Amino acid sequence: MSGVLPDHLDIHLIRILYMLLSEKSVSRVALKLNQPQPSISASLRKLRELTGDPLLVRGARGMVPTQHGESLLKPAKRILVETERLFVRKVPFVAQDEGRTFHIAAPDYLDSQFLPNVVSSLRRESPKSKLVIHGLGPEIDYIRLLSDGDLDLVIANWGEPPAHLHLSKLFEDTIACFMHSECAYAKRTGAEDMTVEDYLSLPHVAPAQTLAGYNGVIEGYLAKQNMKRNVTVQSAFFGLIPYMLTQTDLVLTTGEQFLRFYEKTMPLKRFTVPVAFPKMRYYQLWHDRVHQSNEHKWLRDLISAAAKSLTTR
C-alpha cells in the first residue's frame, strides 16, 4: 500500500468490504444488498486496488480472506458502528432505567422546599442518576461552566440574565421584610405601618454578592430609585440569616416563600415593605449545547414541576 488515503472514501464501499470478508462470497453479498453481482465484483476490484491486496482468494471450499483481509474485518466493523452512531436518531431518555450525573448551580435563598423537592423527584423518577448541587458566588464563572459542560443549568433571579442563554421561568415571589417579633421596633409597629424612612434607616442584614458586578435585586432596585438602605451585616450563608434575626434587631428583605418555613418555628414578624419592589422572578438557564439533549429536557421539566408545586401548596 502507498499509505495515501483516497480523496473520497465511500462508506458504502467499507460496508461491502466488511460483508465480503464476512460472507466470503460475491454472490451472497449481491443478494443481501439487492445489487447485481457485477457491481459487487467491481467494488471488490476497487478494494483490491485501494488496499494492494487480493482480500479474497479461492480456497478448498470456496473463497477465503487473505491474512491482510482478515486483519481488516474488525476495523471495517468499527468504522461502520461509529458511523451509525454519528447519524442515529436520538432516543428518549428513559429516566427509570438510565443513569446520568447532573450538575446544577443554585443560590441558597431559594424556597427551603424547592431543592429538596427536586432531589426527591429525581430519586423517585431516575434512581440510577446522580445530582451535584453547586453554590453560586462572585468567583463562579457560570457562563463558562455552562458552555464547557461542567454545569447543566443554573437557577437564578438576576435582573438581566445573558441573552445568549436559554431561559425558562420557574416561579415568582413577593418581596417582604422580616425581623425579630420581640425587638423594640417590631413591638411598637404594625405589620402595615413601616414607613420608607423607617425601612431605609433600620439595620439590615443582606446576602453577600453572588455574582461579580451584580449587587442583587433589592440593592439594584433601590439604586434606581436613588435610595440606599442601612446594610450593617452581609452574610455569604443565607440559610443562617433567619437565626441571626432571632437574636438581633436586624431586618431581612427577601421573598416570602423563603421564610415560610422559618416563620412556623421562629419568633419572626413580617412587614409589608413600604417600597414598591417588583416580584422576585426565578428562572433556569442553560446553554445551547444541551438545548436539544433529551436527558437535559427531562431535567428541566423535572425542575419546572418542582417549582410549580411551590405555587400550589
The DSSP output letter for 288 is G
**Tell me: the pLDDT tens digits for 162-200?**
889 999 999 888 999 999 999 999 999 999 999 999 999
Residue 1: per-residue pLDDT: 42
Q: Strands 153-156 and 101-105, how do they pair? A: parallel
Over the range 247-258, which residues count as b (16 or more CB within 10 Å of their CB) and which as e? eeebbbbbbbbb
Rounding to the nearest 10 degrees, give the CA dihedral for residues 215, 218, 223, 226.
-160
Roughly what angle, to the nearest 10 degrees, separates helices 67-87 and 11-23?
130
Q: Residue 59 half-sphere exposure, CB side, CA atoms within 13 Å? A: 12
- Contact call for residues 244 and 183 (beta carbons, < 8 A): no
> Residue 311 and residue 299: Cα distance in Å, rounded?
19
Res 158: pLDDT: 80
pLDDT of residue 176: 93
Ranges of residues in the chain with a pLDDT under 70 are 1-9, 88-90, 211-215, 311-313
Provide the grid cell at 311.
Answer: 405555587
pTM, full prediction = 0.68
Tens digit of pLDDT for each residue in 111-168? 778 899 999 999 999 999 999 999 887 788 899 999 989 999 999 888 778 889 999 9
Q: What is the pLDDT of residue 59?
A: 84
Longest alpha-carbon distance in the chain: 107
Report pLDDT for 137.
Answer: 79
* 212 strand-pairing partners: none
CA–CA separation, 14 and 5 (whole Å): 13
